[in-house]
A and B are shown apart, each in its own frame.
Chain A
Amino acid sequence: MIGLSGIEIQAGGFRVGPVDLELQDGEYGVLLGPSGAGKSLVLEAVAGVRRVAAGAIRVDDEDVTALTPERRHVGLVFQDGLLFPHLSVAGNVAYGLRRAGVAGRAARAAEVERLADAVGATALLKRKPATLSGGERQRVAVARALAARPRALLLDEPLSAVDAEAREGLQELLRRVSHEQGLSVLHVTHDRAEASALADTCAVLVGGRLLQTGPPREILMAPADEAVARFVGARNVLHGVRDESDAHAVRLPAGAALRVAPALPAGAADLVVRPEDVKLWRAGQGPPGAAQVLSGTVVGLSLQGGFALVRVEVPDALDALIPARDADALGLTLGAAVDVGVPAGAVHVLPTP
């Protein structure tokens, strides 16, 4: 278990916190945020290599705030593995075994074999770190961290320096290690997809402030504020005013009106619509009688992998993310007229500050 209670960290002129977060045994937590948000500072504070200015850190219900790193029993894995370059892979994995109470050379060798097998690194044991790929280095780094019998695992951007193919295998390994060994994991990343794939609990840190904590789907679908919404890729953050005569309609600055599911109080309303929830049809072919079909014009078009990001004006600007094949089928070009569907249930109303 990892428990952070109001921890604050001062690094030069930059202050992080207060951060509150609780991860149970076997729970996979992801601290998500852009570069420079202070995520790694939080991780360093939990590892004990950085002092906290305020708050308390608990590991397995023990207050470790004042303990040195070697007495906290937490494993630490960095982005590039940071394997000790002067030791072989086996030497790296064995580094923490003696301290973990594995006595005798034969027992340590057997434990190294077992750990290497668990992470799929048996064939690498005699090699030097410089000869390993990014993915191999991370597997060995995980084995090295597990060798010290940690009570929790701290991962600082562990997949950033790994190619896409190796990343999937590593994600599976990290999830398996966390669940099989009942380890709380705190994983730091700026990658939203990585967070969605791995996290049981996700915490969003922006500019040193913890903005939202919850399951990744909840953060994607119901961001707590505009900063979170923008960071998790909800490209459509719209500032409007509730219609005077309809509590379920919001008027946008350029004149469009969007329907929302909840009844809103009068006044300003900030809305979030994820681009994948915006539907497009050829002009005049939107489903008849649909509650929310607007007429729009395509003003931007770009390919993103197998998807097309389409900007339409209704006349307020909205981004839609649709399969590239659908974009081709619709014959979308700049200036084309389209029908734009925004289901009321897909419009998230940001809490009033």
Chain B
Amino acid sequence: MIRFRPSLFWALCAVAGALLLAFVLLPAASMIVGAGAGLLGEALRQDDVRRSLWLTVSAAVIATVIGFVVGVPLAYVLARKEFAGKRLVEGVIDLPIVFPHTAAGVALLTVWGRDGVVGRVLAPLGITFTETVAGIVLAMLFVSLPFLVDTAREAFAMVDPRYEHVARTLGSSPGGAFARVTFPQAWRGVLAGGVLMWGRGISEFGAVVILAYNPKVISVLTYERFEGFGLRAAQPPAVLIVIVAFVVFVGLRTLLLPRRRSRKDAA
């Protein structure tokens, strides 16, 4: 039987990993334990918390679906084509990552607000983005789109383009080759990008609070309760969204992403 031989290198890796895990898990665990099951049940019975949870989750889903429709084609183009200005396009897509999120909210307001360049045109049609669900979706979309585009681009880049060449010689159009050959090989990576985008969306506060304080997403509700009533009042909505996010993240990863095969498995 082969025995695992501990070495200083692996021991250091394990210690670093354990410290990181503790750093991430402790605040979440402490908050959940602090809230207790009673407080959680109480939160679920509160209408504003339930409404806020539903609003947050559904707005993030809508933002992710929109991101999927517009972001996946762009990710595919970035993975497959070389063109003048490609680096610039990639930089622009990643811009929201480095934007302070409150600044992102202000920037969005100058475009989509009632007096913004686009908002001004859409307002007479009854489409507004301030203090509306549409504004929340817009803010979520803006700050989380890079996560989907970047991850999907990497997933497409991992698929050898020669598969598409073969598919084309077998009669597929470019779209057919994408649908029948490339996407079926890249979908897990694209889905991982979607999950990341959704997760980033539900956690957004800065951009949302400037564009649409109301209706309140869970991050805004948590902040408002903390400001108005203190830590104990802020805990239930915070715990709820952390649990939902955790369940969705871990659930999707477990169900949809195959366990990575080790070299030993593959041999």
Chain A positions near chain B (C-beta within 8 angstroms):
44, 47-49, 68-70, 72, 74-76, 78, 82, 84-86, 95-96, 98-100, 144-145, 147-148, 150, 154
Contact = CB atoms under 8 A, between A and B. Distances in A.
Nearest to A86: B184
B110 interface: no
A70 B171 contact: yes
B171 A84 contact: no
A145 B171 contact: no
Contacts of B168: 47-49, 68-70
Main secondary structure of the interface of B (DSSP, over half): helix
B176 to A, nearest CB: 8
27 contacts: A48-B168, A49-B168, A49-B169, A68-B173, A69-B165, A69-B169, A70-B168, A70-B169, A70-B170, A72-B169, A75-B169, A82-B166, A84-B181, A85-B185, A86-B185, A95-B170, A95-B180, A99-B170, A99-B172, A144-B166, A144-B170, A145-B169, A145-B170, A148-B169, A148-B170, A148-B171, A150-B169
A51 B56 CA distance: 49
Given A48-B168, A85-B185, A70 B173 contact: yes
B115 interface: no
B160 A82 contact: yes
Interface residues on B, range: 10 to 19
Contact of B162 (A82, A85, A86, A150): A82
Contacts of B180: 95
Contacts of A150: 169
Given A84-B181, A85-B185, A78 B166 contact: yes
A204 to B, nearest CB: 25
Nearest to A149: B171
A96 B185 contact: no
A13 B162 CA distance: 22
Contacts of A49: 165, 168-169
B163 interface: yes
A44 B169 contact: no
